[in-house]
Amino acid sequence: MANLTLDRVTTTGGSSRQFSLPTWLVLICIVTFTVLISAGAAIYKNAPPIPATIVSPQQEMILSQAEIQQGQETYLARGGQHIGSVWGHGSYLAPDWTADVLHRWGLATAGVIYNSNPVFTQEDLESLPDIDRATLQIQVEKQFKTNRYDPETKALTLTEAQTIGLQKVFEDYQTWLSQGSVVHSIPSGWFTDIPKSTTLPHSLLGRLGQLQQIVPMRPFPIRRISPMMI
């Protein structure tokens, strides 16, 4: 069978040169770029929203969209993507920020539910009797899997336990960002101004506010998922 080709003839200075390109290669290129462009458009159209507000059950403001966006700008301006990753995008010197924050937030929420104390570690969880541990994990998963985002007001409402747990994560990250953390590969003095060290956790946690709308969240495992995340 003859090989079908697309031919192009060019003439330069009286001489001609013929280029042949297989038809199947042209078709592959067309299909590939069509799929890539279509997928990109779908991702852009269906991207999870940035909540206008993240509020407590009492409707107290926890985060605003402006704070989340300011945190994103600070994160990029300070080269955060060269230290850790968000949703797997970025460097791998530090834990994935999304996974780390979600893990810590889940544990803090578990502590609030279990004994009204957000200071709750993986060791505390694993030391519980099997029945208590399983019950607690189900309670925390229910809190995080329930979609509390209102598309009309664009507000994300957290539970009381989530609100208290989130404050604990804020405090921990603010300390690491200002004083440094070996586990997180954060150098000492990376942030010397308190306002900016506060906005970065807003960005990371704000992205979790988006994440909550599209996937079931599993805040913490029975076993550690990474030694760097405890």
Q: Give the model confidence (pLDDT) of 57-67 as tens digits.
A: 999 998 888 88
pLDDT band at 204; cut points 50, 70, 90: low
Q: How far apart (Å, rounded) are the C-alpha atoms in residues 70 and 199? A: 6
Question: What local confidence, expressed as pLDDT, does residue 110 receive?
Answer: 94
Q: How far apart (Å, rounded) are the C-alpha atoms in residues 100 and 143? A: 18
Q: Which residues on adjacent β-strands are paired with residue 19?
A: 8
Question: What local confidence, expressed as pLDDT, does residue 5 receive?
Answer: 47
pLDDT average, residue stretch 75-89: 75
